[in-house]
Amino acid sequence: MGPPTINPYTTPPSTLPASANNPNVRNFGDSFFDDISRGYKQTALFTSIDFDLIPKRLTITGGTRWYKTDNFERGSNVGSFGCEIFGPYNGVSPPNPCVSTVQTGVISNLNNLDAKNLDNTDKGFRSRANLTWKITDEALVYYTWSQGFRPGGFNRAASIIKPGSPIYGIFVPPLTYAPDKLTNNEVGWKTEWLNRRLQFNGAVYQEDWNNTQISIFDPGVTGNLTFTTNGPDYRVRGVEITFVGRVAEGLTVTGGAAWNSSEVVKTLSLTNPATGQPINIVNPFGELGSPLAHSPPFEGNLRARYDFQMGSYGAFGQLGVAHQSHSLSSTDYLTKTLQGQSTVFDLPAYTMWDAQFGVSKGDWTAVAFCENLTDKRAIMDANYRQWVKAEVVSRPRTVGLKISYYFREK
């Protein structure tokens, strides 16, 4: 069987805007390309003021940041989706360059982005306030209110939604998406105990994440391109703690843990403008109460290090463990595998160990280490971007030796 032949009818249209990086006509068989330039200009002014309500004991801090971001996108997005016809169809050959399919009449997506005037400006204020109370020299509590955001942007082009899609003629993927914003409320403490042999810090917080930017890709429903849009509002409530303790001479134990609960508190759904009724598709943003992706309910770590003398050498041994509970790979419950299963994959919980042993003398240090001591195959992420489930796994057991020398000024 010979090599496959290139279909000349998949050549995209050659008309390009003046701002193209490569204005030349593409070769036959090039069925898709982006020739795009994106950019932005950021301007910002910020200030912060501290004021002692009670000298060295009670301090209030206030700050704000004014920002302005000018975004632009130029160039073109060109493809021949729906034009891949090898030879005549019912005795009729498709045009060259490809404009539409004989079967469906879907227009080939030639997008002159210059003509779409993709310029926008985001501006506003993001602020923070903090109240710190130093109760004693070993104990401090604080309250923080703060705001954050991510700027908006542009998608490559509007996807082509085919007539078989349940949202055909109802929804067009957007060319732009707006900023998403986060507001954090946090109460925390920093303390020292047992004659400063134990340090114990922590915080309790709530984060409100609004207008969240979500990426969607489902060729059978939303078209042939991934696009980003603004979706639901999330609320995250959590507690985190860290500690460092000098348990005995030479023995130090450190650890930390975080408990988080995330959920959708406001979601969006598509409705048919003609009937006002919801469209019968799975909500890509998740139902009310569903969690964020990569947001395990619990994470924790514990590490013990023992420093001692070994003859004329300083030495140490260290053992650590980290645990993470299960989480989800995505919030997109719309996209399905080729077998019709959800691409919101469960990422199982895992526990990983590591160990080190080191010696030093003068400016020389040698450390032998073993990462992932039990050779755990933890699944860190999973996706279906290439129409097959792909998993990102942890590094296997890794054993090594590090030798270092500290150079001092003479």
> Of how many residues is the chain composed?
410
Residue 343 inside a domain? The answer is yes
The pLDDT of residue 97 is 46
Is 89 part of any domain?
Answer: no
Number of domains in the chain: 1
pLDDT given at position 32: 74
* Three-point CA angle 110, 111, 117, nearest 5°: 160
Please give the backbone phi and psi of residue 176, each rounded to the nearest 5 degrees, phi first: -130, 160
Tell me which residue range forms the domain holding 328. 306-410
Residue-level pLDDT at 31: 67
| CA 38 – CA 378 distance, rounded (Å) | 37
Dihedral Cα 13, 19, 25, 31, nearest 10 deg? -50
pTM given for the model = 0.82
In this structure, is residue 2 part of a structural domain? no
Summarize pLDDT for 315-357 with one digit per residue, the tens: 999 999 999 999 999 888 878 888 888 899 999 999 999 999 9
pLDDT at 280: 75
Residue 378 forms part of a structural domain: yes
Is 360 inside a domain boundary? Answer: yes
- List, in order, residues 6 or more apart from 17 with CB less than 8 Å away: 74, 75, 76, 112, 113, 114, 115
The predicted structure's pLDDT at residue 335 = 80
Identify the CA nearest to 281 among candidates 213, 222, 227.
222
* Buried residues in 384-399 as b, exposed as e (16+ CB within 10 A): beeeeeeeeeeeeeee
Residue 301 in any domain: the answer is no
pLDDT at 104: 43
| pLDDT per 10-residue tile (average), the chain, 410 residues | 42 64 71 83 95 95 96 81 50 50 47 85 95 97 96 80 81 88 98 96 97 84 83 96 96 98 88 74 81 95 97 96 96 84 94 97 96 96 89 96 89
